[in-house]
Structure 1
Amino acid sequence: MLVEEVMTREVISLPPNEKIETALRLLHQHHIRHIPIVNDDHEVIGIVSDRDVRDASPSIFEETAQPAELDKELKTIMSHPVITVHPLDFVEEVAGIFYEHEIACVPVTQNDKLIGIITEKDVLYTLIQLTGIHEQSSQIEIRVENKIGTLPKVTNVIGEYKLNISSVFIYPDQKDPSKKIIVFRIQTMNPMPVIQALNQKGYEVLWPNIPGITE
Structure 2
Amino acid sequence: MLVEDIMNTNVVTLQPSATIAKALELLHKHKIRHIPIVNEENEVIGIVSDRDVRDASPSIFESASGDAHPELQNQLHTIMSSPVVTVHPLDFAEEIASIFYEEEFACVPVVSNDKLIGMVTEKDMLYSLIQLTGTNVQGSHIEVKVPDRPGILPEVTAIFGKRRTNIVSVLIYPYKQDPAFKILVFRIQTMNPLPVIDDLQEAGFTLIWPKLDMQGPRP
1:37 paired residue number: 37
Distance apart, 1:110 and its partner CA? 0.7
1:183 aligned to 2:190? Answer: no
Question: Structure 1: any 5+ residue segments left out of the alignment?
Answer: none
Q: Distance in 1 between matches of 2:96 and 2:54?
A: 26
Match of 2:142 among 129, 140, 143: 140
TM-score relative to the length of structure 2 = 0.93
Q: Which residue of 1 aligns with 2:108?
A: 106
- Give 1:6's aligned residue: 6
Q: Alignment partner of 2:60: what SS?
A: coil
1:89 matched to which residue of 2?
Answer: 91
Instruction: Give the Cα–Cα distance (whole angstroms) in 1 for the partners of residues 153 and 116 of structure 2.
Output: 41
How far residue 197 of structure 1 moved from its aligned partner, in angstroms, is 1.3
> Is the 1:106–1:118 contact (alpha carbons within 8 Å) kept by the matching residues of 2?
yes
Residue 55 (structure 1) shift: 1.3
CA-to-aligned-CA distance 1:41-90 (integer Å, 9 cap, x gap):
21101001111111111111236675211111111111111000001001
Query: Over aligned residues, Cα RMSD in angstroms?
Result: 1.4
How many Å separate the matches in 1 of 2:164 and 2:41?
55
Task: Give the structure-1-normalised TM-score.
Answer: 0.95
In structure 2, relative to structure 1, the CA distance for the partners of 1:68 and 1:189 (3 Å cut) is: same
Q: Which residue pairs with 2:155 in the alignment?
A: 153
Identical columns (%): 60
Structure 2: runs of 5 or more not aligned: none
Q: Does the C-alpha gap of structure 1 residues 66 and 174 become closer, same or farther in structure 2, counting only changes over 3 Å?
A: farther
Segments ≥4 residues shifted beyond 4 Å: 63-66
Once residues 165 and 10 of structure 1 are traced to their aligned partners in structure 2, the CA distance between those partners, rounded to angstroms, is: 34
Q: Structure 2 vs 1, CA of residues 157 and 123 (structure 1 numbering), >3 Å: closer, same or farther?
A: same
